[in-house]
Amino acid sequence: MTKARELSDEIRSLLVGTPWGDVYPQRPIPSPLAYDGRSVALRTLKRYLSEIGFRRPGGRDARNEPRKPIAFQIEQRNIHIGWPDYEKGLDFPSLTFLHGAGTYEMIGLTAYIEESTRDQYGPGTVVRWMNEYVETFQIEKWASKRSELRAIIAGIETALSPTEQMYGVRFRMPDYFNQLVRFTPMNRKEFDEPDGSRNRRRAQVEVEMAFHIVSLVNYEMVKPTVKVVVDADLDYNTAVQPEEVGPSTPTKEGPCDPCG
């Protein structure tokens, strides 16, 4: 990624404002990450859902008594954060994160510096927030049997609100400067399609994802100084001449005349 300092002098002269990380003396520009925050966020969600346990009904025995529920999980290799780069078979049960439209929300009139990250990811660097990224995407679920699909829906609904303190689920992302990402369930939809007779059933849960898009920039500590001028009037930009003082005249001491 090209930084402002690496631009040509002509383009740099047209840029309005002071580029981030343009410090003196100049230092090497921090290397950007090779992946974006969205990828890190969805990989975190993928790993989380792969550890969720699901339970589907076990059917009935010969005496028509219900069997114990059957526990299962969805392996990470069957959870996809987008379409694969090449054609591959889809093993059931599986999950796919379908991309939605993302928006960039302003966090203020300017970017925000996260002071707690000073020198944490490199000497002389700090993390800055640029904007908040908000995307509504679909978690598409695939299963062979209706009972299995319903078990996945129920398990994911619980997994997306696991804590007492808040609605939705939040994660820290160590691979993205330890930023916070939030996943909030919005709605769901089950599809009644002819493929159900071929043991191909699917459903979707709509989820809102939000996190701050950040970057690493150089910084320089502010060193306040005080300058005092005693021989000039800065308001009028003129020199101040010291006043000439003549010899003092002694006063004659005498008795005090209370009547005079």
Q: Is residue 10 part of a domain?
A: no
Give long-range contacts, CB 8 A cutoff, 24+ apart: 89-92.
Answer: 90/142, 92/142, 92/143, 92/144, 92/148, 92/199, 92/200
**CATH (domain of 50):** 3.30.2000
User: What is the pLDDT, as a whole number, of residue 243?
Assistant: 62
Give first-to-last CA distance, the chain, whole Å: 93
Q: What tens digit of pLDDT does each residue of 94-129 get?
A: 999 999 999 999 988 777 899 999 999 988 999 999
Q: Is residue 254 part of a domain?
A: no
Dig out the tokens for 183 from the structure. Answer: 């996943």
pTM, to two decimals: 0.76
5 φ, ψ (degrees, to nearest 5): -70, -20
The domain total for the chain is 1
- The whole-number average pLDDT for the span 53-73 is 85
Measure the CA–CA gap between 130 and 113, rounded to whole angstroms: 9
Cβ neighbors of 47 (< 8 A, separation 6 or more) are 76
Dig out the tokens for 212 from the structure. Answer: 């701050």
Q: Is residue 223 part of a domain?
A: no
Calculate the average pLDDT of the chain: 83
Q: Is residue 158 part of a domain?
A: yes
User: What is the pLDDT, as a whole number, of residue 250?
Assistant: 57
Q: Is residue 241 part of a domain?
A: no
Structural domain containing residue 127:
19-218
Q: Is residue 160 part of a domain?
A: yes
Q: Is the pLDDT assigned to residue 254 strictly greater than 60?
A: no
Q: Is residue 84 part of a domain?
A: yes
Q: Is residue 256 part of a domain?
A: no
